[in-house]
Amino acid sequence: DAGVTQSPTHLIKTRGQQVTLRCSPKSGHDTVSWYQQALGQGPQFIFQYYEEEERQRGNFPDRFSGHQFPNYSSELNVNALLLGDSALYLCASSLLDSDTQYFGPGTRLTVL
């Protein structure tokens, strides 16, 4: 049973560029959440998707957007990248309203 997978593993971009990160949830899960984890910090909630709709959103600007596909996989898009967007981006999957989330290995984004 494959767990949560994310791609790519690492990514280097320059300021002002746009980036798309991808996530496939654990088999059987229908809900995907995205988190940003800066070095030395805990993960910060970006948003959650269920049934292809954004269900909850954390305190992130509109430059951060997402999408969920019919097969429950998800994308995180970040526009107009800033140096401060450099972080580990984590995807977590779960069943709707379940407290147990399973995290992927993350995508390390570096903005130069």
Q: Does 74 bind other proteins (CB under 8 A)?
A: no
Amino acid at site 80: A
Q: Does 102 bind other proteins (CB under 8 A)?
A: yes
Q: Does 60 bind other proteins (CB under 8 A)?
A: no
The tokens describing 4, both together, are 């949560």
Q: Does 100 bind other proteins (CB under 8 A)?
A: yes
- For other proteins, which stretch binds (CB under 8 A), given 14-22, 54-62, 65-73, 74-82? 54-62
The tokens describing 51, both together, are 């049934």
* Nearest distance in Å: CB 52, other proteins: 17
End-to-end CA distance of the chain: 37
Please state, in angstroms and rounded to a whole number, the distance separating the CA atoms of residues 19 and 63.
11
Please state, in angstroms and rounded to a whole number, the distance separating the CA atoms of residues 112 and 15.
6
Contact positions vs other proteins (CB under 8 A): 4, 33, 40-45, 48, 55-56, 58, 88, 90, 92, 97, 99-106, 108
